[in-house]
Structure 1
Amino acid sequence: MVLGLLCLGFFSTGCKAIVATNNRNWAPDQAKLPIGVVQGDEITIHNVRNCRYVTSDDYVVQYYDKDIRLSDIETVDYVVVPFKDSPSVAHTMLSFGLSDGQYLVSSVEIRKEANEEYSAWKGFFNQYELMYVIGDERDVINLSSNYYKSDVYLYRTVAQPEQAQALFLDVIKRANKLAADPEFYHTVTNNCTTNIVSHVNKIAPKSVPYDMRILLPGYSDEYAYSLGLLDTSVPFEQLRSQSQINHLAERYRDDENFSEYIRR
């Protein structure tokens, strides 16, 4: 027991000496970081990801630059993807809806090196840099639903357009900061859900108090519901059932109107 604690302490101390960097041999789908150039209402987002998949490991990497108006952002949806082998844990994302019917997904992820895999245990010890993926739904949601074969729940939030815009702007600022000043991912304290909570609390202070359902984000949709951040006009279990989009994502995986159809 003592020897184990000493080893853990030594490993943790050694991790503190590791410096986060953006210069590694990255996996192709995470090789480019998104950067937003904000000029008043005009935003240019560089490196929007738009991969096309044959399998989860066989894909064509595509990026593009996108010009938007901040004022065109009208909605924000909350996406929950429970882990298949441990559904109390989940990957969470935000998807921002534009007035022209297009969507941009913000996904906070580990930045994998080539041939590297995710390990929650390694995530405690400065083994992964943190990154934001800004991508379209035919990439990010398709990947989770149709290629990883994970359950995907898509919830419309009650955020007003002004709140969705403020949230998106904060996401862009955070992505820009990581491009200039990289950080390490941490399994508990600096992950997809904690970053979303931080964004929400910046634009609406103290609206999401700390709760075990943040630590176990497979329950974070239930927590958001209890806080009134989602539609509460129906019972939560009914909302959750209605919000699972796998069957629609499968049916319309290659359709140019993918985002419209998964919301039917």
Structure 2
Amino acid sequence: MIESLLAGMLLTSLLLATLWGGLALVHRLPASRVVRWLAVLVWLGTGGLWCLLVWQGARLAPLAGMVVQMAALLAWWRQLQPAMDLDWADDVAHLATGEVEGHRLILHHVRDFDWQTPDRARIAWERREYDLRALDSVDLFVSGWGRPGIAHVLISFGFLDPGSGRHDFVAFSVEVRRERHEQFSEIGGFFKQYELAIIAADERDAVRLRSNVRCETVNLYRVRLNAADRRDLLLVLVEEANRLEAAPRFYHTVTANCTTLVFGLMRRIIEGLPMDHRLVLTGLLPGYVHDHRGLVPGFSLHELKCRGDITERARQAHEAPDFSRCIREGVPGWE
């Protein structure tokens, strides 16, 4: 009985190591397509041989063979380093670098694209300044595309102009920094295929891209943070983007994505925030924030989600100069 259990555990371990190594080679081996797939077939064939030997009763030989095989692969894997200067896709060509001068926040690359299709846009990067004393709101945008529990998250900061009573918004998005020829793959995100990017964008760019161009469902939630925490969250996002500009990091589908990075920054501001599965299943993030009293009080999560569904309002306000005001009509906290 114990012998069968140990054999099963060894066989499972060998299968997992074989699968992981094959995917790592597929996504990261710097070779032509033919050579890459030849290497994958050799890797899978060797792993299959060790599994066959275990099935036939061997133990030490297949274990030693896989240890040597994995040691060689991991030695190569550890040498992979994130890049700084590649031919980046237009929408992630610049990170949201900036600095503070007195009460002014200066952002050097705010994206303000006018998207015609998911792959084509009028390109515009702008230098913008914000008065930190006017920072009075934080909003959470959650954009889903039909996959249960999966969504993209944006954090938007609003600056109130006391003269006009209007807000100027800048949205931050943690994204995959793809090369121009690359397409995003969730599986590739596990295997060092992409670098990490923090993008600052006008809401007419970042929100309309998802609701109006990609036809995703977008929900808006106003977040409850005091003035000091709002400011700190904004500045640590800029600080992290500056750090990425100097020392790039790999994106990871689970450990370094649009939610987990923001959560890590929030924990620097608000102590005691616990880990939760909803930080991985990003579409469930509003429930986590709601449970920790971070959303507008007096409403159930269902009510906040229904009233915060801005998808249709965004489409109707596509060309409106006051797009950000239009999408907030009826959203709790913005009535």
- Compute the TM-score of the two structures, normalised by the length of structure 1: 0.95
Q: Partner of 1:33 in structure 2?
A: 95
RMSD, aligned α-carbons:
1.5
Aligned pair 1:228/2:293, yes or no? Answer: yes
Mapped contact 1:43–1:68 kept (Cα < 8 A): yes
Query: Distance between the aligned counterparts of 1:199 and 1:43, measured in 2?
Result: 18
Query: Distance between the aligned counterparts of 2:305 and 2:160, measured in 1?
Result: 26
Uncovered stretches (5+) of structure 1, i.e. residues with no partner? none
Q: Partner of 1:87 in structure 2?
A: 148
Aligned pair 1:258/2:323, yes or no? Answer: yes
- Tell me by how many angstroms 1:253 deviates: 1.2
Q: Partner of 2:159 in structure 1?
A: 98
- Tell me by how many angstroms 1:7 deviates: 5.3
- Selected match of 2:205 from 139, 157, 180: 139
Uncovered stretches (5+) of structure 2, i.e. residues with no partner? 1-11, 25-72, 162-166, 330-335
Q: Partner of 1:113 in structure 2?
A: 179
Give per-residue Cα distances to partners, 1:221-263, cap 9 Å, x unaligned.
Answer: 1111111100231111111100010111001111110011100
Q: Partner of 1:182 in structure 2?
A: 248
Query: Distance between the aligned counterparts of 1:216 and 1:50, measured in 2?
Result: 29
Give per-residue Cα distances to partners, 1:27-69, cap 9 Å, x unaligned.
Answer: 1111122210222322210010000011111111101001112
Q: Structure 1 segments of 4 or more deviating over 3 A?
A: 9-12
Aligned residue identity for 2:277: M
- Tell me by how many angstroms 1:9 deviates: 4.2
Q: Partner of 2:55 in structure 1?
A: none
Aligned pair 1:151/2:217, yes or no? Answer: yes
- Tell me by how many angstroms 1:99 deviates: 1.2
Give per-residue Cα distances to partners, 1:69-88, cap 9 Å, x unaligned.
Answer: 2222111001111232x131
Q: Which structure: greater helix fraction?
A: 2
- Tell me by how many angstroms 1:6 deviates: 3.4
Query: Distance between the aligned counterparts of 2:181 and 2:250, measured in 1?
Result: 19
- Selected match of 2:234 from 165, 168, 174: 168
Mapped contact 1:15–1:125 kept (Cα < 8 A): no
Structure 1 range deviating more: 126-135 or 113-122: 113-122
Give per-residue Cα distances to partners, 1:85-134, cap 9 Å, x unaligned.
Answer: x1311111100000121100000000011131111111111110000110
Q: Which structure: greater strand fraction?
A: 1
State the secondary structure of the residue aligned to 2:228.
helix
Q: Partner of 1:218 in structure 2?
A: 283
Identity %: 32
Aligned residue identity for 1:45: L
Mapped contact 1:15–1:126 kept (Cα < 8 A): no
Q: Partner of 2:269 in structure 1?
A: 203
Query: Distance between the aligned counterparts of 2:235 and 2:277, measured in 1?
Result: 27
- Count of matched residue pairs: 262
In structure 2, the CA distance between the partners of 1:15 and 1:29, relative to structure 1 (3 Å rule), is same
Query: Distance between the aligned counterparts of 2:211 and 2:118, measured in 1?
Result: 10
Aligned pair 1:76/2:138, yes or no? Answer: yes
Aligned residue identity for 2:117: T
State the secondary structure of the residue aligned to 1:80.
strand
